[in-house]
Chains A and B, each alone.
Chain A
């Protein structure tokens, strides 16, 4: 089996700050995703990548950048953190349409 590791688990930043979340997977999956989870709003797709150096925008990409420099890693940057950014960010990778999620990174903006 494989694992998806998200770092950090908690990220505290100031309003207006640029903040980066990292994700590593050892499944050797081609496709990776970043979702944002807010209570009562489900999971909303921010960015996904179907292969190394590929980036596809999801429904919530405004205010975020992503980078897939290696097959095994996918990072997400909040370009200017706002207090309404506080949510859990979930990284996932997939094979045959099945998503495997990391444990999540909680963003706190002060």
Chain B
């Protein structure tokens, strides 16, 4: 059972465009939604995260939009740069203890062309 679905599998945008990556989830007890990025040859690292108390979180060019009713959240990368080319994973988890496990989507490979 895939609890976190991510799309598209790959995405190519031109430098300066906004890249939009999408995720949906099934478990209504999830209350933490991070995005991780992974550059070739490196390990994943946290990029930005949101909790359902708000429906938008911004950090520079990166914005998460969250829709609790539809159980969807997306990552928008504004003014995309070639250095943003990486694989992006969305994830979700519940509160602490045994709910601390993070369930990841399958990833979106983003290529930014100049």
Contacts and interface: CB of A to CB of B under 8 A. Distances in A.
Given A42-B89, A50-B98, A104-B43, A97 B104 contact: no
Interface residues of A, number: 23
A94 interface: yes
A18 B51 CA distance: 41
B43 A101 contact: yes
Contact of B105 (A42, A97, A101): A42
A101 B97 CA distance: 19
A56 interface: yes
Interface of B: 6, 9, 32, 34, 36, 43-46, 49, 89, 93, 96-98, 100-107
6 contacts: A40-B106, A42-B89, A50-B96, A94-B100, A97-B32, A98-B49
Given A40-B9, A45-B102, A97-B49, 13 more contacts: A33-B101, A35-B104, A42-B89, A42-B105, A42-B106, A44-B104, A48-B101, A50-B96, A50-B97, A50-B98, A97-B93, A97-B102, A101-B43
